[in-house]
Amino acid sequence: MVMKNNLNIVVLAAGQGKRMKSALPKVLHPIAGSPMLHRVLDTARALQPSAICVVYGHGGEQVRAHTTDETLLWAKQEPQLGTGHAVQQALPHLSADGVALVLYGDVPLISANTLAALVAAARADKLAWLTMTVANVDAAGGLGRILRDQKNHVQAIVEHKDATEAQRQIKEINTGFLACPSTWLAGWLPKLKNTNAQGEYYLTDILAMAVAEGRVVETLSPAAEWEVTGINSKDQLALLERTYQLEIAKRLMTDGTSLADPARIDVRGTLTCGNGTISDVAIDVNCIFEGKVHLAPNVKIGANCVLKDCNIGENTEILPFSSIDGAIIGKGARIGPYARIRPSSTLADNTHIGNFVEVKASDIGVGSKANHLSYIGDTTIGANVNVGAGTITCNYDGANKHRTIIEDNVHIGSVVQLVAPVTIGKGATIGAGTTVWKDAPGEALTLNRKEQTTLTNWQRPTKLKSKQE
Ligand code: UD1
Ligand code: CA
């Protein structure tokens, strides 16, 4: 591997996560749409390290199978004897002359900026430790406490379970993140003892070792508490999800997007709005954005829409309860309410897709409309086409899918079936109720002749009398 900056990152992900009560390993539970471990790895990659080593153990094969990055190094920890023991398993992968940074797979939202500050301190030959002061003692419950001397110099970390009542009153806690020259870790870790309340080899004990050796210890705090919030249970996961979603909502509003209620939006991926200068995008309540979504200036999204991997053009309006997945939609379009746009669809400017219309793998030309109750699948529609209510493209013969081509200025009446493969020529009109199974020529009316009969002596059935009556 090319040595970029000799930074080696160790990600601890071997713990079981008992309190999640789940078959899925803890680090694979998603926050804002991606597994916690993937978020930590993305942040790690942002620091452009020369290597990232994941310490895995519990549910290990599942963790590895979910993580496709070929450049990752893996260190198995079996059995799991504590955080110090975990980092020790990664030691053979760390380059001796580099800086090591330890991250936690269950603390998903740590930012690259905060970590960069830790690494910078470690490069200056310091043991850099991330701490935080939490105002209420409840929040510190279960966490390691930072012990300082009279001069406010860090002395050690004591784990909650090992702490005295007096130590438990300390409000400064260990967030778990640290960085230092790798050789120091190689010296300290083998000396760890597990004579403590949990019978584990605590990584945190190296702090006292560093102090005893006279090393300079620098402590830093993150910009926001949520960056260092760890997840041990479903309720903590849900709480952090809401906190993070609110952060995303604030960022969107700062960039000029209007949210009907910042507490009722979910971004499970990346949502970008506007053109960098103005947004004027407005999003109503209960919308979910997945994957990569871009909304151009002045797009309006109605309530209860789900948008995934799509690009919506300027001035387009998505009306309530619509689902859009894998589509590019042009300017000035009107989609929904209750529209479903499926992958590989391109809707040009000024298109209208109305209620209960499903569009799949289709291209719809400028100004074309399908306003009511239709299925448009594997279809190419030209410009200024009107598709009548209830029209269905019959794209599947039971074995293969076939395409329907509808050229410019076609008018299709209501409840038409287009049996693909079939082409409707430019300017054609298709009569209501027609089953089109042969190509229909342009500039002409195509219909199926049907007879309309009236039976005057026919009687509408009446309800049979039941026996009891
Ligand atoms: C740890 C710290 C504590 C800190 C807290 C912050 C220690 C001893 N304690 O406690 O000071 O306040 O984090 O969240 O380090 N893991 C392994 N192998 C193991 C044990 C753990 O890989 O043998 C991994 C877990 O998967 C997890 C991380 O290390 O990602 C932290 O382990 P956890 O048991 O949750 O430590 P805490 O009790 O939270
Ligand atoms: Ca934890």
pLDDT in tens, 102-112: 999 999 999 99
Determine the angle formed by the axes of helices 36-46 and 112-123, rounding to 10 degrees.
50
Q: What is the pLDDT of residue 469?
A: 58
> 272 forms bridges with which residues in the sheet?
294
**pLDDT reported for residue 136:** 74
Residue 443's pLDDT is what? 98
Q: Please tell me if the CB atom of residue 175 comes closer than 6 angstroms to any atom of ligand 1.
A: yes
Measured in Å, residue 196 CA sits from the centre of ligand 1 at 15
Summarize pLDDT for 388-430 with one digit per residue, the tens: 999 999 999 999 999 999 999 999 999 999 999 999 999 999 9
Q: Look at the alpha carbons of 201, 204, 208, 209 in this order and tell me if their dihedral is positive or negative.
A: positive
* Lowest pLDDT segment from 21-25, 191-195, 196-200, 374-378: 21-25
145 lines ligand 1 (CB under 6 A): no
Q: 167 C-alpha to center of ligand 1: Å?
A: 19
* Residue 135 confidence (pLDDT): 73
Cα 249 to Cα 113, 272, 317: the distances in Å are: 20, 11, 20
Residue 255, pLDDT above cutoff 50: yes
Which atom of ligand 1 approaches the CA of 228 most closely? Answer: 14
Answer yes or no: is pLDDT of 468 > 70: no
Please say whether the beta carbons of 369 and 394 come within 8 A. no
Across residues 331-345, what is the average pLDDT? 98
Neighbours of ion ligand 2 (CB under 5 A): 230
Measured distance CA(208)–CA(285) in Å, rounded: 51
The residue whose CA is least distant from atom 16 of ligand 1 is: 15
Structure token pair of residue 314: 């300027």
38 is catalytic: no
Q: If you take atom 33 of ligand 1, which residue's CA is the nearest one? A: 15
Tell me what pLDDT residue 1 has.
Answer: 42
Region 182-210 average pLDDT: 97
- Do residues 467 and 461 make contact, with C-beta atoms less than 8 angstroms apart? no
Q: How far is the CA of 106 from the centre of ligand 1 (A)?
A: 8
pLDDT at 131: 93
Locate 292 and state its tokens: 């990569």
**Would you say residue 207 has pLDDT above 60?**
yes
Tokens 């560093």, located at residue: 210
- Taking the CB of residue 165, how many other CB atoms lie within 10 A of it? 6
Is residue 451 within 8 Å of residue 441, measured between CB atoms? Answer: no
Out of 85, 93, 352, 372, the active site residue is: 372
**Range 71-97 average pLDDT:** 95
Distance CA 393, CA 391 (A): 7
* pLDDT value, residue 3: 46
Torsion, Cα 37 42 44 47, to 10 degrees, reads -170
Output the CA 178–ligand 2 centroid distance in Å: 15
Instruction: Give the per-residue pLDDT at 33.
Output: 96
Reported confidence tier of residue 2, pLDDT bands at 50, 70, 90: very low
155: number of Cβ within 10 Å: 14
Ligand 1 contact via 227 beta carbon (within 6 Å): no
Kindly give, in sequence order, each residue whose CB lies less than 8 Å from that of residue 339, ignoring residues fewer than 6 positions away.
Answer: 319, 322, 323, 324, 353, 354, 355, 356, 357, 358, 359
Burial of 351 (0-12, 13-18, 19+ CB in 10 A): buried
- For 23-71, write each residue's pLDDT tens digit: 999 999 999 999 999 999 999 999 999 999 999 998 888 999 988 899 9
Q: Which structure tokens are listed for 273?
A: 């709005």
Q: Ligand 1 atom 25: the closest Cα is on which residue? A: 15
Task: Judge whether residue 141 has pLDDT over 80.
Answer: no
Half-sphere exposure of 215 (CA within 13 A, CB side): 27
Give the ligand at the shortest distance from the Cα of 192. 1
Q: Give the mean pLDDT of the chain.
A: 95
Tokens of 140: 């510190």
159 lines ligand 1 (CB under 6 A): yes
**Residue ID of nearest Cα to ligand 1 atom 11:** 144
| Closest atom of ligand 1 relative to the 232 alpha carbon | 35
pLDDT at 266 over 80: yes
Q: Does 302 sit in the ligand 1 pocket, CB within 6 Å? A: no
Pocket flag, ligand 1, residue 10 (CB < 6 Å): no
Q: Whose CA is nearest to atom 29 of ligand 1?
A: 12
Would you say the CB of residue 233 lies under 6 angstroms from ligand 1? no
Can you give the pLDDT at residue 119? 97
CA–CA distance from 112 to each of 38, 128, 229, 341 (Å)?
14, 15, 15, 36
Q: State in Å: Cα 104 to ligand 2 middle.
A: 8
Q: Average the pLDDT over 119-129 and give the result.
A: 95
Ligand 1: centre distance to CA 290 (Å): 31
Determine whether the shortest distance from the Cβ of 174 to ligand 1 is under 6 A: yes
- The mean pLDDT of 71-79, rounded to a whole number, is 95
Q: Above 70 in pLDDT, residue 4? A: no
Q: Is the CB of 283 under 6 A from ligand 1?
A: no
> How many angstroms does the Cα of residue 156 sit away from the middle of ligand 1?
16
Q: What is the Cα–Cα distance from 69 to 77, expressed in whole angstroms? A: 20
**Which atom of ligand 1 is nearest to 14's Cα?**
22
